[in-house]
């Protein structure tokens, strides 16, 4: 494929440059060749990296728990202790938590890992969409104190009033939390596959220790088809005073996603 692409580009350049412009032609040709080879190497590296992530995820331990008839499965190897560029995480669940008590119980389990914590942010956003008061309590529990007001402000702006939300509203996007669930796309009305799954990979940014507080910040990408850049960055913090992680920063999850092209059926 690389040779074919290079041949096509070469023929195109031959038509653009006269034969007596050899130096200019050869210089541009070498640049094109270098660019094609670089692109091929980057795609090959991404392919290998994705295979490594999937392999690591397959071999990681699973933790499954239930709350009533709802089930949650945690899997992954994104660790607080050390950065691993090949690390990945996945959380699969049958339902959005029904109320604050269930959300808190789920957080006691998922909050022990960076990827489990990250996967709870779409749940909190959806709960805010259903009930502002309950959703705010969930956000205050899940988010680090310096991030709470930012998240609430973005949600107020993004969701507006409950009466203003509809599938046809291009700005107030009620379907926003579904945009990071596996299988959800603008074309299918952001209706994800079931059970719901949040897929995550380690960011290219390494862990950083906080300077003013006794804690560590970890960077994670949540994968979602709702944006051209499918990797939605989210920051997780773990302090020495808590056994659980928290959401330190997450504006990428609250930015405008692609406008829906179908009908959103809601989440269970």
pLDDT tens-digit map of 166-182: 555 556 789 999 999 99
pLDDT at 113: 96
Is residue 160 very low, low, confident or very high in pLDDT (cuts 50, 70, 90)?
Answer: confident
Average pLDDT over residues 11-24: 49
pLDDT at 181: 96
Average pLDDT over residues 76-100: 94
76 touches 89 (CB < 8 A):
yes
Average pLDDT over residues 213-237: 92
Residue 91 tokens read as 């959380």
Is residue 62 very low, low, confident or very high in pLDDT (cuts 50, 70, 90)?
Answer: confident
Angle between helices 132-142 and 145-159 (to 10 degrees): 150
Average pLDDT over residues 154-165: 72
pLDDT at 15: 44
Sequence spans of domains, the chain:
2-12+25-57, 61-254
Is a pLDDT exceeding 70 seen at residue 210?
yes
pTM, two decimals, is 0.77
- What separation in angstroms does the CA of 65 have from each of 40, 58, 92, 183? 43, 19, 11, 23
225 touches 185 (CB < 8 A):
yes
Is residue 229 very low, low, confident or very high in pLDDT (cuts 50, 70, 90)?
Answer: confident
- What separation in angstroms does the CA of 202 have from each of 11, 51, 92, 112, 149? 41, 14, 18, 16, 26
Q: What is the pairing mode between strands 88-93 and 215-223?
A: unpaired
225 touches 262 (CB < 8 A):
no
DSSP the chain: -HHHHHHHHHHHHHHHS-TT-HHHHHHHHHHHHHHHHHHHHHHHHHHHHHHHHHHHHHHS-EEEEEETTEEEEEEE---SSS--TT-EEEEEESS--SSHHHHHHHHHHHTTSHHHHHHHHHHHHHHHHH-HHHHHHHHHHHB-HHHHHHHHHHHHHHH--GGG--TT-SSS-TTGGGGGSTT--TTTTT---SSEEEEEEE-SSPPEE-SSSSEEEEEEEEE-TTSSS-EEEEEEEEETT-SS-EEEE-GGGGS--PPPSS------
Is a pLDDT exceeding 80 seen at residue 161?
no
Is residue 23 very low, low, confident or very high in pLDDT (cuts 50, 70, 90)?
Answer: low
Is a pLDDT exceeding 80 seen at residue 138?
yes
């Amino acid at each position: 494929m690389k040779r074919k692409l290079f041949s096509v580009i070469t023929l195109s350049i031959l038509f653009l440059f006269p034969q007596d412009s050899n130096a200019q032609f050869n210089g541009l040709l070498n640049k094109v060749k270098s660019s094609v080879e670089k692109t091929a190497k980057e795609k090959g590296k991404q392919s290998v990296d994705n295979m490594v992530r999937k392999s690591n995820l397959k071999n990681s331990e699973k933790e499954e728990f239930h709350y009533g008839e709802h089930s949650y499965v945690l899997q992954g190897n994104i660790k607080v202790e050390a950065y691993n560029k090949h690390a990945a995480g996945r959380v699969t669940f049958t339902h959005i938590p029904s109320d604050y008590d269930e959300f808190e119980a789920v957080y006691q389990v998922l909050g022990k890992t960076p990827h489990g914590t990250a996967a709870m942010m779409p749940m909190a956003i959806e709960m805010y969409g259903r009930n502002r008061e309950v959703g705010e309590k969930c956000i205050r529990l899940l988010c680090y104190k310096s991030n709470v007001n930012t998240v609430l402000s973005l949600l107020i702006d993004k969701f507006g009033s409950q009466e203003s939300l509809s599938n046809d509203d291009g700005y107030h996007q009620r379907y926003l939390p579904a945009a990071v669930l596996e299988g959800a796309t603008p074309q299918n009305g952001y209706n994800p596959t079931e059970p719901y799954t949040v897929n995550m990979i380690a960011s290219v940014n390494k862990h950083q220790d906080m300077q003013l507080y006794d804690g560590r910040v970890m960077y994670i990408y949540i994968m979602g088809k709702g944006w051209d850049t499918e990797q939605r960055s989210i920051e997780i913090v773990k302090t020495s005073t808590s056994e659980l992680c928290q959401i330190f920063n997450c504006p990428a999850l609250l930015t405008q996603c692609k406008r829906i092209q179908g009908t959103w059926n809601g989440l269970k």
